[in-house]
Chain A
Amino acid sequence: MKRLIAYGLVLLFLLFATAPYTVNAGLVFIAGIAMTEIIFALSWNMLFSYAGLASFGHAAFFGVGAYTAAVFLKYDYGLHFLLVIALGTFLGGVSSFVVAIIVLRRASGIQLAILTLALSQLVVTLIGYSAFLGRDEGIPSIPRPVMEFGLFRIDMNDQVQAYYFLFVMSLLAVALMWLLLHGYVGRRMKAVAIDPERAAFVGIDVWRVRVFAFTIGGAFAAFAGCLLVPWAQIVTPDLVMWLHSAQPMLATLLGGAGFFWGPIIGVLVLSMVNYATRTFAGLSEVLVGGILLIVVLLAPQGIMGFLRRIVERSSTGKPAMVEEQA
């Protein structure tokens, strides 16, 4: 299975790395969007699979990042775009820290789901008041930044340069999340997810681990939001709506909850479904809903779990071990 994942990742890397030279402009655009969605989905999966928290309002933090970047680019405050990204990520982290402090104290399970959902809708409502943030219409035609790095410059007005900027930033984010979750921090989170009571017994501060996970998850979501803005050049409250909050869940479940790489597969499948059905209104919802239902009912471990079962069955002849699910 490990080898299979490695091959898959190399293939994926090559596909994304060569996209501007191999496929048409429309698909390149979708690949760029997919990269931001991948970070977004991974950040949600970090909460869900590693810390056991199902947030239904994760798009709020994505929105914090996106709107921060949009404001700085649209109104041109002359801040270096990398600093804008840093600022957006920081604000996303701060806001999710505050939300975590309020919400995690009392709520869990369904209460947590509804509270986070309501908070994200509150953000949508608040954006609706602000002419500065474009109210319900959002901020359109955002200019792309030009970044000076002393030795070289990146001009995002050039589609290829913009794509590779996105690509490198996404790689960094994914690598960072991988490192974070495959060490001490990740194991602590997993312990809390599987059994908070026992985790507390062995001396893990459950409350702190949860707040930390929520904060980091929000920061990465905001980072994804920041990256989307120069690429899509428009932000609308739709980015904050609950339907967008649902995207990482769908991707995670589809790809395989409990696997670090699961959400990536999920995002790719969802992007392809959306691309293939873009001309039929309603069809993509039906397809996505149907696929997801099949996954939840028949293969709760998602595509990755399904693959693992096949691989392990064929290599050992024994049925796969069912991993304990929090």
Chain B
Amino acid sequence: MMSLYLFSLFNGLVMGQAIFLVAAGLTLAFGIMKIFNFAHGAFFMIGAYVAHALTGQEAASLPLFLGAAFAAAIVVGAMGVATDLVVFRRLAGVPTEYTLIAAFSVMLLASGGAELVFGQGIHAIYPPAALGGLIQMGIPISVYSIFIVGAGVVAFLVLEIGLNRLWFGKLIQAVARDPWMSDVAGLRVQRIKLISVAISFALAGLAGGLLVANQSLSLDLGHSYLLLAFCAVIVGGLGSVKGAFFAAILFGLADSLNYILLPTMPGVAVYALLIVLVLIRPQGFYPELSQ
């Protein structure tokens, strides 16, 4: 019984890190552009397809697997640059509903385009042999899930340190807080925004490349994590990487404990948690400081 809970806790952690990998880019994009990017899940899916196209069903080695994930990040990041230049840049100051719907139409374009390019087939993907094994630590743990947790934590640390300690992160924060003042102070606001959007999209592509081995690759892939990532971003506080990290873990744990405590009703706990948390704290764990 104990090991069952332990197993479920660990699964929740893995799930939480997977959600965070998707949510990180989403919350970053919101912080900088004030646009809730519905298309994020679609680009996550495109990243997964790109990685799959490079490695095939099973990556031959770990470096190849990682290389494919980074290649997916670069491809999707480039798409992000294009999206920003064509769409997002023009939406500054437009009412929220319109930006949401613009992002939604980008999502339709991206997922429809993916359907045209990659077809409707469903592919089973396996992690490379180096990540394929199981470790016995009281409970059986797959190496791949440890890898996911590691990737999530690394992504979190890089973003947190990058945003709060490095000069470029501070520039991004300045632009996010007050674009006008940053402009006056001589920052190239548009370029910094463009780079942050590229980073946000690249994170989606990277997450796609890293998480693809977790499940079957199909056009629905975007949806499975997207909603949970939305929840994590909202509950964590829009624009906050730290908040998204903790909220993602919370949602991962809720979902996995759901299977033990309420086995007849899978998938309910996350929604219940979301509703309760938003009602208690609508501004999120770490509300953004900008106006």
Contacts and interface: CB of A to CB of B under 8 A. Distances in A.
A285 B114 CA distance: 10
Interface string A94-123: 000000001001110111011101110110
Contacts of B108: 285-286, 288-289, 292
B271 A102 contact: no
B102 A110 contact: no
B282 A107 contact: yes
Interface residues of A, number: 44
B274 A293 contact: no
Interface residues of B, number: 42
B120 interface: yes
B289 interface: no
B27 to A, nearest CB: 12
Contacts of A126: 268
A159 interface: no
Contacts of A113: 36, 100
A118 B274 contact: yes
B21 interface: no
A143 interface: no
B215 interface: no
B238 A289 contact: no
A289 B271 contact: no
B97 A114 contact: no
A222 interface: no
B220 to A, nearest CB: 11
B271 A121 contact: yes
Nearest to A54: B97
A20 interface: no
Contacts of B268: 122, 125-126
B276 to A, nearest CB: 10
A281 B95 contact: no
A286 B271 contact: no
Contacts of A105: 279
A137 B87 CA distance: 37
Contacts of A326: 95
Contact of A283 (B36, B87, B116, B238): B116
A6 interface: no
Interface stretch (B68-76, B158-166, B184-192, B226-234): B226-234
Contact of B104 (A119, A246, A284, A297): A246
A325 B95 contact: yes
Interface string B64-108: 000000000000000000000001001100111110111011111
Contact of B231 (A54, A114, A292): A114
A246 B105 CA distance: 10
B3 interface: no
A109 B112 contact: no
Given A54-B97, A110-B96, A282-B115, A102 B264 contact: no
Given A110-B234, A119-B275, A296-B98, A289 B109 contact: yes
A54 to B, nearest CB: 4
Contacts of A115: 274-275, 278
B176 to A, nearest CB: 16
A282 B110 CA distance: 10
19 contacts: A48-B97, A54-B100, A111-B278, A111-B282, A113-B36, A113-B100, A114-B230, A114-B278, A121-B271, A122-B271, A125-B266, A126-B268, A280-B116, A281-B120, A287-B112, A288-B105, A293-B105, A296-B101, A297-B90
Per CB-CB distance, the 9 closest pairs between chain A and chain B, nearest first, are A285-B112, A282-B115, A289-B108, A289-B109, A286-B112, A292-B105, A122-B271, A282-B116, A54-B97
Given A249-B104, A285-B108, 8 more contacts: A106-B279, A114-B230, A282-B113, A282-B114, A287-B112, A290-B109, A296-B98, A326-B95
